[in-house]
Amino acid sequence: MSRSVQGDTGSRQSFQIIKDWLVTCLTTHTSLCSTPNAEDGASALPDRVIELSPGMPLRIRLVDTGNRKERYACLSHCWGGRQPLQTTKAPDTISAHRHNIDHRDLPKTFQDAIEVVLAIGIHYIWIDSLCVRQFHQRLYTVYK
């Protein structure tokens, strides 16, 4: 049974529809949406992800995953122009991001993605410019 999101896409009702779609995908589309543990959607995390610890205040930080298995979401985006927040070796933002990333410092797209991910019960998100910056810098230098 298909349902479309009506009205406020940030409402609890809309997030419930998204959760229902995700459950349907994981339980009935096993050939398309398969994961190592299809019942809960857990799979091996990438080397680094953003961990979201709900509460007041929300804690956001970069973590090294050590091959743990969890549910996570991905956000890949256009990096064009000035990047307000990224993880780099110089200056060293890795250490700071492992301690805390201030929600107010995140671009609106990242804030919205985090809101949706938490609302559907996921506590990890991979955002390319925050999780793999060094890799992309190296590629850019090699192919420049």
Extents of the domains making up the chain: 45-143
Q: Using one digit for the tens of pLDDT, what is the confidence trace for 59-99? A: 999 998 887 888 899 888 766 666 667 666 666 778 888 88
Q: What is the pLDDT of residues 15-67, one digit of tens each?
A: 888 888 888 887 887 666 655 554 566 788 888 899 998 777 889 999 988 87
Of 82, 124, 121, 85, the closest CA to residue 105 belongs to: 85
Q: Which pLDDT does position 144 carry in this prediction?
A: 39
Q: What is the pLDDT, as a whole number, of residue 133?
A: 47
> Token digits for 85?
């927040």
Whole-number Å distance between alpha carbons of 53 and 101: 12
Token digits for 61?
């930080």
Per-residue pLDDT, 123: 93
Integer Cα distance of 109 and 22 in angstroms: 21
pTM of the model: 0.74
Cα–Cα dist 117/71, whole Å: 10
Split at pLDDT 50, 70, 90, the class of 5 is: low
Residue 78: CB atoms within 10 A of its CB come to: 6
Residue 142 has pLDDT above 50, yes or no: no
Across 105-119, average pLDDT: 90
Q: Is the CB of residue 38 less than 8 Å from the CB of residue 27?
A: yes
Pairing of β 73-75 and β 124-127: parallel
What is the per-residue pLDDT for 35?
Answer: 55
Gap between the Cα atoms of 11 and 8, Å rounded: 5
Residues 6+ apart with CB under 8 A from 44: 36, 67, 68, 69
